[in-house]
DNA sequence: TTGAAAGCGCTAACAC
DNA sequence: GTGTTAGCGCTTTCAA
């Protein structure tokens, strides 16, 4: 049993079977309005019956679009590779793209050299119609290049230091306000925060939300803020450790990242603190992980998969000329949980 | 300043500039041995000078290869999206592929429906030359299909229930043996284990390694094994919780997964155990995360990025006809650390 | 509303 | 060794 021959049904085959010309098949399949409804239906039927699948290479060669978009992972080493959201973001992107019959091509540019190669390639030959990317704003040369060249691009997470860039982000400020307000609501008087890098939009915005919530209650900033250098578990641990030493009376903590929260929690337990008896805690999480039982903590749930999907949708709209530069903010949800951690309840 | 025109330098342009025919340019650029060295050099030089970049669509249409390979994420929802290794695996794959000028196309098949669509597409039209995939062996219909159709595929992690499939995996057995032996070496007398799903190669193999190490010391299995239903943090927590209740005298634990270890650690702390004073602990980790300070635990370090790279390399070799079905086992390293967790040292 | 003809940029025979 | 000649399977004018 040798490999079955891949049926190479072409538009010409469909045309022959349907009794029309090959260009008419092309028009019908591409939704050209000039094709008579009866013809279209006959063609669609024949194509389906014959199991026709378009040859992307031919389409790309003849047409003006590549029908594929690129996803660039350009974050600095320590960030992205510890970014637990990448798979989910990809799932969201993929969902949207496959619905529109676009291919998703992956590019990894961890260092300057990779970026240069990408820049060179893109500048000379358009391999994809546009880019989606996750960046930590450190190694942003590729993004800058894309914007200069006016190559369509949509970024995940508000990028700092760029004007006129399309991006999709979750409501970081709103989420941080809700988290902080929640801690105050349940009676905390000394609320601290571990925020993400000041070089990132989410890091800055979540801190802003925390401060806004304090201000709204007429509380003054007690300085119990740790600005993590990255989003990793280590920084969460280090941050919590430091906060506990500098602010022994802390009775509430908001850790603005999933791994930061894990690390912070670890430090709390190491210090013998019981959550929420000694210290109330709110973290960040993927909304898809909302059912997670450990840590059974209050968290701000972000729609990560939808973030990816919306990024793709926004890019496709731009490519279709329906939209110029634009932003999109996805709502988050505060997910309060009343479990105890640090000892058995 | 409008968008600079993408220079559409074709082989014909290079040919003209170099004073040869277009097919000769094709041969030179593709390393055809029949081209005279002097001609080749002249052509390469001209191409470089003109900034020539090949048109992949044209190459694919005219040739017999698509010059791109697919990466399929086919794991069951709960598994993959919590799989912390995906980004690193992708990095490794990308490294190898870009070195060979191949594109990486992503496919996501979370459910039966996605898989059917993929199967249908692949059976009718070859979009990529081969596939790389991560699977949890539950939703393995796509893999089965690929094998039946003799589509080249390389799997990451030993897949259960398949014969004649190429895969790359780390030395799970060796790692588990080393981990268990280490616990015994440092004086543990009651060593338990939390292993991964019995439907996965690594889950089975790591358990086998643990048992082999016990046997080698003449110890009999004390039954202190928790078989996690997935690799998530929750299962680690649940497993540790259960082990502690059923085996109160446990003084050593081997958690055979990164998230399993995190969860297990959490449960240990929750139960008031101090690591390593009360219980010795060995987890699994990405070797790239070896510098991680929390948890500062002994671990089996896996070369995850290299796993991806080797997967790609193996597939490319198969496509080049250099190799048939084959396996590759990457060595792991036991990384003993002597830190304390659960209280300040 | 449809067909005929041209051509996208490359690879692959086949000559010389 | 190198040039000539044919397509690959589409999209896109241009006629009809």
Residues 251-270 of B with CB under 8 A from A: 262-263, 265-267, 269-270
| Percentage of chain A exceeding pLDDT 70 | 90
B83's CB contacts (< 8 A; 6+ apart) are A87, B75, B134, B231
Indicate the pLDDT class of residue A140, thresholds 50, 70 and 90. confident
Q: Which of A71, A126, A270 sits opposite B6 (nearest CB)?
A: A126
Quote the tokens at residue A121: 């390639």
Q: What is the mean pLDDT of chain A?
A: 87
Put simply, the answer to whether B91 touches A110 (Cβ < 8 Å) is yes
* B289: pLDDT strictly greater than 70: no
Residue-wise pLDDT tens digits, B226-255:
999 988 888 998 999 999 999 999 999 999
Question: Mutate which of B11, B54, B75, B90 to test chain A, going by most A C-beta atoms within 10 A?
Answer: B90
Nucleotides of D under 7 A from a protein CB: 1-13
Indicate the average pLDDT of chain B: 87
The whole-number pLDDT of residue B76 equals 63
Average pLDDT over residues B145-166: 92
**Mean pLDDT, rounded, for A11-29:** 95
pLDDT at position B342 is 46
Does residue B187 surpass a pLDDT of 50? yes
The reported pLDDT for the residue numbered A117 is 85
| Partners of B255 in beta bridges | B194
Whole-number Å distance between alpha carbons of B307 and B286: 11
Q: Above 60 in pLDDT, residue B121?
A: yes
- Predicted local distance difference test score (pLDDT) of residue B266: 83
CB < 7 A from strand C, the residues are A 19-24, 27, 34-36, 38-40, 58, 61-62; B 8, 10-12, 22-23, 26, 29-30, 52, 54-55, 58-59, 61-64
pLDDT in tens, A244-265: 999 999 999 999 998 899 889 8
CA of residue A158 to C1' of nucleotide D5, angstroms = 55
Q: What is the pLDDT of residue A342?
A: 46
Q: Is residue B287's pLDDT more than 80?
A: no
- CA of A10: which chain B residue's CA is closest? B125
pLDDT at position B83 is 75
CB contact (8 A) between residue B57 and residue A60: yes
pLDDT value, residue A214: 96
Mind giving me the DSSP string for A28-92?
HHTT-TTS-HHHHHHHHHHHHHHT----HHHHHHHSS--SEEEEEE---HHHHTT-TTHHHHHHH
Distance separating alpha carbons of residues B261 and B295, to the nearest angstrom: 9
Which of B269, B283, B345 should be substituted to probe chain A, the one whose Cβ sees the most A Cβ atoms within 10 Å? B269
- Position B124 scores a pLDDT of 80
- B322: exposed, middle or buried (Cβ count in 10 Å: 0-12, 13-18, 19+): exposed
Q: How many CA atoms lie within 13 A of B235 on its CB side?
A: 22
Q: Which of A61, A88, A105 sits opposite B105 (nearest CB)?
A: A105
Strands, DSSP E only, in chain A? Answer: 68-73, 103-108, 131-134, 153-156, 166-170, 191-195, 225-227, 252-255, 280-286, 298-302, 327-330, 333-335
Q: Which pLDDT value is given to residue A328?
A: 95
What is the pLDDT averaged over residues A132-137? 84
Q: Which of residues 54-73 of B touch strand D (CB under 7 A)?
A: 58, 61-62
Q: Do B86 and A86 touch (CB under 8 A)?
A: yes
- Nearest residue of A to residue B292, measured between CA atoms: A234
Compute the average pLDDT of residues A125-150. 86
Residue B306 vs residue A339, higher pLDDT: B306
């Amino acid at each position: 049993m040798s490999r079955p021959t891949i049926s190479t049904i072409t538009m010409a085959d469909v045309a022959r079977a349907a009794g029309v010309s090959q260009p008419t098949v092309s028009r019908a399949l591409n939704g050209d309005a000039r094709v008579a409804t009866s013809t279209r239906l006959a063609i669609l039927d024949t194509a389906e019956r014959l199991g026709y699948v378009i040859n992307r290479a031919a389409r790309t060669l003849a047409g003006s679009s590549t029908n594929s978009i690129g996803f660039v992972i350009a974050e600095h080493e320590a960030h992205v590779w510890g970014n637990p959201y990448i798979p989910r973001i990809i799932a969201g992107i993929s969902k949207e793209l496959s619905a529109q019959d676009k291919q998703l091509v992956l590019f990894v540019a961890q260092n300057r050299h990779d970026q240069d190669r990408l820049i060179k390639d893109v500048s000379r030959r358009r391999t994809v119609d546009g880019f989606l990317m996750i960046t930590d704003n450190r190694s942003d040369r590729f993004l800058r290049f894309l914007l200069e060249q006016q190559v369509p691009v949509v970024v995940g997470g508000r990028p700092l230091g760029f004007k006129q860039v399309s991006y999709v982000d979750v409501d970081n400020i709103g989420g941080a306000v809700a988290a902080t307000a929640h801690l105050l609501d349940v009676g905390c008087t000394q609320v601290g925060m571990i925020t993400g890098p000041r070089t990132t939009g989410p890091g800055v915005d979540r801190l802003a939300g925390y401060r806004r919530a304090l201000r709204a209650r007429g509380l003054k900033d007690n300085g119990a803020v740790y600005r993590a250098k990255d989003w990793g578990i280590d920084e969460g641990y280090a941050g919590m450790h430091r906060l506990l030493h500098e602010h022994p009376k802390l009775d509430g903590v908001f850790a603005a990242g999933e791994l930061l929260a894990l690390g912070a929690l670890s430090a709390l337990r190491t210090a013998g603190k019981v959550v929420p008896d000694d210290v109330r805690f709110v973290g960040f999480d993927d909304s898809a992980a909302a059912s997670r039982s450990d840590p059974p903590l209050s968290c701000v749930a972000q729609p990560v998969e939808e973030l990816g999907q919306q990024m793709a949708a926004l890019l496709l709209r731009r490519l279709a000329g329906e939209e110029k530069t634009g932003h999109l903010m996805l709502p988050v949800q505060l997910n309060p949980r009343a479990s105890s951690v640090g000892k058995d309840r």
